[in-house]
Structure formats: C-alpha cells, structure tokens
Amino acid sequence: MIATTVRDARLHLSKYLRLVEGGEEVVIHKHNRAVARLVPERHAVATAFPDLAALRHDIAAAHPGAWADSDVGADIRRDREGRG
C-alpha cells in the first residue's frame, strides 16, 4: 500500500494510476486523514460490441420487404424536404 497526499496525487496522478494498474493500492490523505483509496479494478474485462446479425435477421423476418427497395439517401432527402 502506498500513501500520498491530495496535492501529490493531483500532481502525479498518471504515476499512481500506473501503480494501481500494476496491482498496488494507493491511499490518499488530506490533513493526515485517509479520504480516498485507489484500487485496481477487479472486473475490468474488454467488452466487444455484440454481433447484431441475429437481431437484424429477426427484424427482417418480422417485417419482410421493409428495407428491400429502400434507398437510404433518397429517404433522407425526402425527409429533409418535408421539414423545410
């Protein structure tokens, strides 16, 4: 465990974050009293975007032909013209 002051933590935050990433724990003191604790994230998992192919398939099955002949650019132009 590493102890530091608020001022030092503010000035050297990157250094303390690197230490925390390495598994250290940092306690921040203000007026000789512990006020905060930086600890490594235990559940940090890289999250990928979900595959939406199944969702697209389900939507297409529920609304057959809804987008079959759609020209997105033309739809946007019509929508904009209708607003003006």
Q: Distance (Å, rounded) from C-alpha 23 to C-alpha 41?
A: 9
Q: Residue 26: which of 16, 15, 34 has the closest Cα?
A: 16
Beta strand extents in 1-84 (DSSP E only)? 2-5, 26-30, 33-38
**Residue 76 token pair:** 């946007």
Where are the chain's structural domains?
Answer: 2-38, 53-83
- pLDDT, tens only, 10-44: 999 999 999 999 999 999 999 999 999 999 988 65
- pLDDT, tens only, 53-66: 888 788 878 877 66
**Overall fold of domain 2-38:** YefM-like fold (3.40.1620)
What is the predicted pLDDT for the residue at 48? 76
Bridge pairing between strands 2-5 and 26-30: parallel
